[in-house]
Amino acid sequence: MNVRPRPAAMPATMLAVLFALLLPLGAHAQAKPAEAAAAKPASHPPGAAIASAHALATDAGLDTIRAGGNAFDAAVTVSSVLSVVEPISSGLGGGGFFLLHDAKSGKDTFLDAREMSPEAATPEVYLDKDGNLDPDKSENGPWSAGLPGLPAALVELASKHGRLPLSRSLAPAIRIAREGFPVYARLERGYASRSKVMERYPGTRAVYLADGDPPKVGETLRQPDLAHTLELLAAKGFDGFYRGETAAKLVASVNAEGGKWTAAELAAYQVRDRTPIRFKYRDWDITTAPPTSSGGVALAEILNIVSGWDLQELDAAHRTHLLVEAMRRAYRDRTIYLGDPDFTSVPVARLTSADYAAGLRAGINPDKATPSDLLSGKPAPLEDDETTHFSIIDAEGNIVSATQTINLLYGSGLVAEGTGVMLNDEMDDFALKPGTPNAFGVMGFEANAPKPGKRMLSSMTPTIMASPTKVAVLGAPGGSRIITEVLLGILGYDDGLSAQQVAALPRIHHQWMPDVISAEKGALDPETVKALQAMGHTVNAGEGSWGNLQTVAWDRIADTLEGGTDPRNPVGKAAVLERAIQSAP
Ligand code: DON
């Protein structure tokens, strides 16, 4: 990262006083440039900014900062509130990746809180009697769930990086779980599409059918058991979730539904502290997700390939063609080489090298599509987005870029009885049957085969990009499409777009298999579609929208902060807090 550390750290008490004076601005607001905007880049931001997929999470995170917390404390708040108000997307029963930049030391840290495979989950469990992958095992219920990682990440964030007690940062989530929040359209729609699976389980019925019928827009969803689970986490830290009462209930519920978890493997869960991927694209230093994510490697590969051309000079058809050819090659490598680095040796240095990209670039015909081997695989249009991303920057220049998930809509559908915790269905992200596409149409082989204690490959790509004059933080949900959403966001910032324009950018995607360019309605004009078809591409130009990108950016020359929230999600919010005292005469 190219963010200069603040010259001297400010004591916490002084910060608390300063932050008491922070003024909230509206969503997508931009702080006013300081009077004499220096030509010299500012050493720290003029306030704080948060973008997340739910206004309650953004607002609670800003409150944590007002109370004297830093970006890492705010991340605990935002993450835990999202777990409560977006049970469709992420939660204590899932996992996530947290990319952190510590302004004082200049150090970047990547917390890998991905779920781990339980020991009993061998590949045979997921096959039907004919030897085919059985989605009812890989996507629903007890066998689809990996051992959760998110609670351990919250504990680590607070204890190693934050300055407020875990109990303070979790307090808003506990309150909202107990008092409830208004059901919004995505929750109602998601429930309707998953109700058959969800209503199999007594723990799930107790949450979602508490008033006798499914959640409806405008009703209040209360989760008292989840509030209690969060309180145990707040009071006892790691042991409050992974040992004792909560752990016993999680294991009992999974096993009662026919799965097999043990208390010992839950208690052995560990967050992994990994070295982020770093590379340069034009003026930008990009810091992003290493394996167990495939995102950073794929991003580096794609941007290294296209750095051989000036994309800004190209017409839309050629720009799209070259991006797609780079995507195709990166997703092919994802399929073959990527997996949990604790179990498989991932050739990260080679895949992200300039030489490797140059070789791939040489194989790209600037006017003709390279057909991917025609294998089976169907496009996986996403009408709703599960998984969630949030971006935070504080007035010291600390940064959090975090993506968390329970995988598909409402994860496994299984709420462990008495905990309020919706378990993930992340096991579907393993290559459970080699060469068979998963719910996102991506497949894998040995590198991503399930093994006891192994983490399943992810596409989540929390990213920070820094040029000498600007810092931007971004990420998104969307399964295998996450990587290309982030890619287009990076290119948007490089094109000079605002944070809000970046969040709203129309999306295109290619993932090697199926050999199709997916494009949101209106993302490619008819002429461009025709030109791409003439080059040999298959274009699916009318797909529904996907993604939910949340981003914040700091312009170090104008001394401004801004946030962008994806307009596809009406309940998201980006907000900036200006440190009023700084602009006072
Ligand atoms: O980790 C992954 O790549 C997936 N489990 C993320 C799932 C996701 O983004 C679902 N949203 N559409």
pLDDT value of position 158: 98
Nearest CA to ligand 1 atom 2: 458
Confidence of residue 579 (pLDDT cuts 50, 70, 90): confident
The b/e string for 485-501 (b: 16+ C-beta within 10 A; e otherwise) is bbbbbbbbbbeebbbbe
Q: Which atom of ligand 1 is nearest to the CA of 456?
A: 1
CA distances for 113 relative to 146, 250, 455, 535, 579, angstroms: 11, 18, 9, 42, 33
Mean pLDDT of the chain: 91
Q: What is the pLDDT of residues 466-512, one digit of tens each?
A: 999 999 999 999 999 999 999 999 999 999 999 999 999 999 999 99
Copy the structure tokens of residue 239.
């042991």
pLDDT value of position 86: 98
Range 389-393 average pLDDT = 98
Q: Which atom of ligand 1 is nearest to the CA of 459?
A: 3
Residues marked as catalytic: 387
Nearest Cα to Cα of residue 364 among 314, 309, 313, 300: 309
pLDDT value of position 219: 98
Range 379-389 average pLDDT = 68
Confidence of residue 386 (pLDDT cuts 50, 70, 90): confident
Torsion of the alpha carbons at 168, 173, 174 and 180, rounded to the nearest 10: 150
Nearest CA to ligand 1 atom 1: 458
Probe target for ligand 1 pocket from 115, 193, 384, 440, with the most ligand atoms within 8 Å of CB: 440
- CA–centroid distance, 386 to ligand 1, in Å, is 7
90 Cβ below 6 A of ligand 1: no
Name residue, tokens 């496994």. Answer: 412
Range 295-312 average pLDDT = 97
Q: What is the pLDDT of residues 508-552, one digit of tens each?
A: 999 999 999 999 999 999 999 999 999 999 999 989 999 999 999
Asked if residue 8 has pLDDT above 90, the reply is: no
Q: What is the pLDDT of residues 546-571, one digit of tens each?
A: 999 999 999 999 999 999 999 999 99
At 68, which amino acid appears? G
Confidence of residue 384 (pLDDT cuts 50, 70, 90): low
Q: Is 585 exposed, middle or buried (0-12, 13-18, 19+ CB in 10 A)?
A: exposed
Is the pTM of the predicted complex or chain greater than 0.95? no
Asked if residue 24 has pLDDT above 70, the reply is: no
Q: Are 321 and 505 in contact (CB under 8 A)?
A: no
